[in-house]
Structure 1
Amino acid sequence: MSTVFVNGELIQRDDAKIDIEDRGYQFGDGIYEVIRVYGGNTFTMKEHMDRLYESGEKMKLVIPYTQEEFTSLLLRLIETNGVKDGIVYVQVTRGVAPRQHHFPSGKVPGSVVAYTKDFPVPSAMMEQGVTAKLAEDIRWLRCDIKSLNLLGNLLAKEEAASEGHFEAILHRGDTVTEGSSSNAFIVRDGSIFTHPATNLILNGITRRVIKDLCEAHDIPFREEAFTVSELLGAEEIFIASTTSEVMPVVKIGGQAVGDGKPGTVTKKLQSLFRNRKNR
C-alpha cells in the first residue's frame, strides 16, 4: 500500500479522505502539477513548482506552504514510496467551505494532496510514433493556468481515444493551439514551429526544455502560430509532455505525416532530451 500526502501528513492511501465540500471537488477550483521521476531523481522539479505557484497567483489561490517547504515534503513522499521511474501528482484546491460561487470569506486553508505512481517511459511508442486526430479547441481562455477544469481536454481526448488515437490536436478555427494533454510542434524546412506561450496554451515544462535544447544546438525554434493546413502539410509533427517526452506523430486521422515514420529532427530532439534527463 502506498503512502500519500494529505494536508501536511504522510498517510496510507486507504486512510486518505477529502471533505465533500472541498472546492476542488465541487467547482474544480484548484491547480495541479505532474512531476517526472527518473532513476529516483526528480526532473525539472523547480520549474514545475514555479509554475504551480504562478498558477496559484493567477487564481488568487494561496498555497499553505513555502515553495521550499512544499518541495521538501514532495521529495520525502517520493523517497518514502521508493519511486524509481514514475511521477508525483500534486493538487491544491481553495479548501473546504460552504458551497457558494464566490471565494470563501476569511482565511480558509487550501487543501493539498500528492501521490506517486510508477510510470515507465513509453519507449516503444516514442520509437514508432503515434497517431492523432484534429479536434476543435472548446476550452476556456486561460489555458496558461494549470487548473483542474479539464472537461474540454477530456472530451477531446476521449474522442481521439475512441477512434484509436493517442492524442487530439486542438485548433481554434484555423489556428492550431496544442494537444489535449500536450504541446504540439511541426517541422518545416528544418525549423520547429509551436504556438506562442499565450493564454491559449499551457507553457509546458517539456516545451521549455525543448526550446532550451534547440537554442543550445542551433536548431531553429519559432514560437509562431500555424494553421491546420500547415499542420497537415508538415514534414514532421511531434507532441511533448511530462509523461510523453518528445513523441512523434506519424499520422493525423488517416493521413500520413511525411513518410509515416518519425522524422530526423524529432529523433535528434529525442536523443538530446534523453541526454538532458540523464545528466
Structure 2
Amino acid sequence: MKEKQIIFLNGEFLDKNEAKISVFDRGFIFGDGIYEVVPIIKSNLVDREEFWERFLRSLKAIELEFPYEKSEFESILKELILKNSLKEGGVYIQVTRGVASREFAFVKGLKPTIMAFVFECKVLENEFKDKGIKIISVSDLRWKRRDIKSTSLLAQCYAKNLAYKAKADEAFMIENGKVNEGSSASAFIIKDKTLITKPLSNEILSGIRRKNILSFAKELGLKINERAFSMSEVYAADEVFISAATFLILPVIKADDKLINGGKIGEFVPKLRQKYIEKIMKEAES
C-alpha cells in the first residue's frame, strides 16, 4: 500500500505532511471512531452501495453523527481521487467523535473529526491471486462488537504480527474452537461444492464482499451453508479463501503448515474472483 500525497481532513484538502489533529481527539485517546476502506478502479469508487450500508450502520452503532449527505461526501472522495491522480487502489475513511477532555462516556455535541486518504495498490492483479497465500490460526482476543468497524484494532494487529512472524500472510481468528474471520479479511471454505462461512452476528464484521460472493457462488452452482467451521475443516477443505477491499478474493493454499488441496488452487475461487471483477468493472465504467 502506497499512500498518496493529498489527504482530506475536516473540510480541507492538505498535504499529508501538513495534516494535524489534536492530541485530545477521542480517536487518538480512546480509539473512539470508525473507519471504512473502499476500492477504487479506473479512478472510480466501486462497491459504493455496500460501503454506505456498513458505514452508516457502524456510525449509528456508536451514536456518531455524520455531517455530510451521501452525494456530498462522494463528491469529496472523487475530488480526492482526482487530486491524487489515482487510477487503482482504495480510499481509507476515518470518523472519530472529535476533540474533548478525557472522559470515558460519549461526549455529546462534538464536531467529528473526518479524515480520508487514498492509496495505490493492485486490486485486480494482486500478486497472490494465482499463487495463493498462507495462514495461521490464532486466538481471537477482540471485544464483543466486531460488527462495528471500529478503529480499535490492536487485537487484529497482534494477530497479523503473529502471522508475519510465522512467515504467513494472514491469521484466522479462533474462538470456542471455531473460525470467526481473518485478522483483516472475511474467511470462507468450500467442501463438496458447498460454500461455508460464519453467519452474520456481532461476532464478525459484515464483509462488504460477502453478500456478493454468496450470490456469485449460487450462480456457479455452489450450495451455501452459513455456519461456523473449525480449523480441522479448513485443513480438509477443497478450497479456502479470504476477501477484503484491497484484493477482492484470494485463495489460501496452506494453513498452519498444512497444504489445502495439495497446495493447488481449486476450481471455484478463480471463478468467484472473476465474477467479482466483472461486477466492479461494470461499476467503474458506468
Q: Normalising by the residue count of structure 1, what TM-score does the alignment of the two structures yield?
A: 0.96
Distance 2:274 2:54 in 1: 26
What is the identity percentage for the equivalent residue pairs of Structure 1 and Structure 2? 36
The aligned residue for residue 39 of structure 1 is 42
Task: Name the SS for the 1:65 alignment partner.
Answer: coil
Structural RMSD (CA): 1.3
Say if 2:140 and 2:175, in contact at 8 Å, map to a contact too. Answer: yes
2:67 matched to which residue of 1?
64
CA contact (8 A) 1:178 1:184 kept: yes
Q: 1:110 aligns with which of 105, 109, 112?
A: 112
Secondary structure class of the residue paired with 2:35: strand
Alignment of 1:168 onto 2:181: no
| Segment drifting more, 228-237 vs 85-94 | 228-237
The secondary structure found in structure 2 opposite 1:159 is helix
Residue 145 of structure 1 corresponds to 148
Query: What displacement does 1:271 show?
Result: 1.8
**Paired residue secondary structure (1:240):** strand
- CA shift, 1:18, in A, is 0.5
* Count of residues in correspondence between the two structures: 278
The amino acid across from 1:115 in the alignment is F
Distance 1:64 1:114 in 2: 15
For 2:44 and 2:183, the matched residues in 1 are separated by 27
Alignment match, 2:255: 252
2:269 is matched with which residue: 260, 266, 270?
Answer: 266
- Any conservation in 2 of the 1:136–1:173 contact (CA below 8 Å)? no
Q: Give runs of aligned pairs for residues 197-236 of structure 1, distance below 5 A.
A: 197-236=200-239
Verify the 8 A CA contact 1:43 1:277 in the aligned structure 2.
yes
- Contact 1:88–1:115 at 8 Å: present in 2 too? yes
> Could you tell which deviates more after superposition, 216-225 or 227-236?
216-225
The residue type equivalent to 2:115 in the other structure is: V
Greater length-normalized contact order (CA 8 Å, ≥ 6 residues apart): 2
Whether the 8 Å CA contact 1:49–1:71 is kept in 2: the answer is no
CA distance in 2, matches of 1:275, 1:136: 36
Counterpart position of 2:136: 133
Checking the alignment, whether the CA contact within 8 Å between 1:207 and 1:241 is kept in structure 2 is no
Where do 4+ consecutive residues of structure 1 move more than 3 Å?
Answer: 215-218
Separation in 2 of the partners of 1:96 and 1:15?
Answer: 19
Please report how far the alpha carbon of residue 204 of structure 1 lies from its aligned counterpart in structure 2 after TM superposition: 0.7
Q: 1:196 aligns with which of 194, 199, 202?
A: 199
Letter of the 2:24 partner, please give it: E
Unaligned runs of 5+ in 2: none
Letter in 1 for 2:104: H
The one-letter code of the counterpart of 1:193 is: I
Match status 1:14 vs 2:17? yes
The counterpart of 1:92, out of the listed 82, 87, 95, is: 95
Instruction: Answer with 203-212 or 193-202: which moved more.
Output: 203-212
Work out the CA distance in 2 between the residues paired with 1:235 and 1:38: 31
Q: CA deviation at 1:166?
A: 0.4
